[in-house]
Every structure is written in C-alpha cells, then in structure tokens.
Amino acid sequence: MAKRIDVSGLTAYYGNHKAIEDISMTVEPRSVTAFIGPSGCGKSTFLRTLNRMHEVTPGGRVEGKVMLDDENLYGSGVDPVSVRRTVGMVFQRPNPFPTMSIFENVAAGLKLNGSYKKSELESVVERSLKGANLWNEVKDRLNKPGAGLSGGQQQRLCIARAIAVEPDVLLMDEPCSALDPISTLAIEDLIGELKERFTIVIVTHNMQQAARVSDRTAFFNLAGVGQPGKLIEIDETERIFSNPSVQATEDYISGRFG
C-alpha cells in the first residue's frame, strides 16, 4: 500500500536553531528517492520529519505540512505513534533489540499493534525475513539473539522488522554507512526489490549509491555553518547526475566541494 508523500513549506527547528527551511517536494509511490548533500545540510533531519521522529529530540519542532496521500501527518489530532506505525524507518547503525531473539525482533512491531496467534506471527516473520533476503541465513537459528548476527545481517534484520508491519513508506537513514561493500551490495539489491511494494526514501553520503538505487534524487545544501539547510533541486536521478539544472548540484556531484 505504497503512498505518495507531498511535503509543502516544511521548516524544522532544534530549539531556536532552524535546521531546514521551507522544503517542498513530492515523493512518488513505489519509487526510490535519494537525499544527498554535504554534512549538516539537514537531509537526515528532513527524513526524520517524515515519520515525526524529529520531535523526539528535545527542542525539536516542525512547521509545515506533510501529506501522506490525503492525510496530513502534522494535522491536529494525529497521533505521532500511529504515524510511525505506517512510516517505517531503518537507521544508520543496525539496531536490533539486543535482548530479543531474531524471531522476536521481527515480530516486535506486530506485537505492539495487537495480539496475534503464534502461527500468524510465524508466517509474517518468515515472509518479512524472506523479503529482507535474510531467511536462508537465519531460518535455523530464529531463537538466537539478533545482536549475534554480522553487521550486514543485522541491518537486513532491521529492514525485516520494519517491513513486517507493512508500512506505507520506508525511510532509510544512511543504511549502509556502517557496512562493508558486500553487505552494502546486498542492501542495495534489496532496496531494488522493496520498491515494488513500498515508497522508499534513502539518505546517503555515497553518490554512487544514490545513482545506483534511486529513481529520483534530491540535493540539499546550506549557505554556511549555522544557516538552515535547503532543498536545492529534486529531479530524475539520471538528470541530476548528468545534467543538473543548478550549478551547486553539479559542483557537489563532481567533487568540487563538500
């Protein structure tokens, strides 16, 4: 049930510091959108406003609108907890629950949403682990702790955990930056498969990765230290990497700054 994200006039603050300013963009369903830009440009902050994780940080607040199809995530009366149940997230560092087994990790989100029969849980866990290309590696040790897997496996476990609850959108905050090249490749292949079912937004520092996995790319930049980050342009990935319409994008991509 992939959904379209429509952001308009979004500004986010940490206390008095304006982190990102006036961002508007549309993210198409069943596509991969990559956010690139130099450190501190607010791309992770922007990502975290899309499932209302930004406001978890002390002092974090948001102005503007994020429409998920026709529901405003920041509308009055919208519960941030229920937003996060429909917009899943994968983090930079793999973070399986250390006290839970592989099975319990994948089932964790379902158990939050209500009670399930054991057989239902088993089928969802199997489907999610298969969806995360992890099933064959862990099917014989589902009751072992999730923290005992390798870094790349842990990250795929986190993806399985996120997709187990069938979210509308999957946000990924530099999901490969703590992984080796082979694990990175496995995740990138997985992203290509997942976009058949989900709307995917990925923040990455690796421009080759953005070029490999994404359909559209957004470039963020900031005028200087302490200035808010802004969206410079968003376009088809191919265009951004071959013939961007803004000079700053071309400078960044060709390595002239950042």
Partner 1 sequence: MKTDIEPTHTPAGSPPRLRTRSTGRAGDKIFLGLSRGSGIILLVIMAAIAAFLTYRAVIAISKDEANFLTAFEWNTGTEPMRFGIAVLAYGTVISSVIAMVIAVPVAVGIALFISHYAPRRLATPVAYVIDLLAAVPSIVYGLWGALFLVPHLTGLYTWLDEYLGWTGIFSYQGGAARSLFTVGILLAIMILPIVTSVSREVFRQVPKMHEEAALALGATRWEVIRMSVLPFGRSGIISASMLGLGRALGETMAVATVLSPSYLIDASLLDPGGGTFAQNIASHFKEANDNGRDALIASGLVLFVITLLVNGAARMIIARRKEYSGAAA
DSSP assignment of 13-76 equals EETTEEEEEEEEEEE-TTSEEEEE-STTSSHHHHHHHTTT-GGGSTTEEEEEEEEETTEETTST
* 7 versus 179: smaller Cβ distance to partner 1: 179
Residue with smaller CB distance to partner 1, 47 or 190: 47
Q: How far is the CB of 76 from partner 1 (least distance, A)?
A: 19
Q: Which residues contact 43 (CB under 8 A, 6 or more apart)?
A: 35, 36, 37, 203, 218, 220, 229
Give the shortest CB-36-to-partner 1 separation in angstroms. Answer: 12
Q: Which is nearer to partner 1, 58 or 76 (CB)?
A: 58
In this structure, how many other beta carbons lie within 10 angstroms of the beta carbon of residue 242? 11
134 Rama class: left (phi>0) / alpha (psi -120 to 50) / beta: alpha
Residue with smaller CB distance to partner 1, 167 or 228: 167
Q: Which is nearer to partner 1, 156 or 216 (CB)?
A: 156
Q: At 211, list the tokens.
A: 């070029």
Q: Shortest approach of partner 1 to residue 68 CB, angstroms?
A: 14
* CB 96 within 8 Å of CB 158: yes
Q: Minimum CB separation from partner 1 for residue 75, in Å?
A: 17
Using the minimum distance from each CB to partner 1, give the nearer residue, 1 or 112.
112
Distance between CA atoms of residues 205 and 255, nearest Å: 12
Give the shortest CB-178-to-partner 1 separation in angstroms.
5
Query: Cα dihedral sign for 201, 205, 211, 216?
Result: positive
For partner 1, the binding residues (CB under 8 A) are 38-40, 51, 53, 56, 58, 81-86, 88-89, 91-93, 95-100, 108-109, 112-113, 145, 147-148, 151, 158, 161-162, 165, 174, 177-180, 205, 258
Q: How far is the CB of 66 from partner 1 (least distance, A)?
A: 16
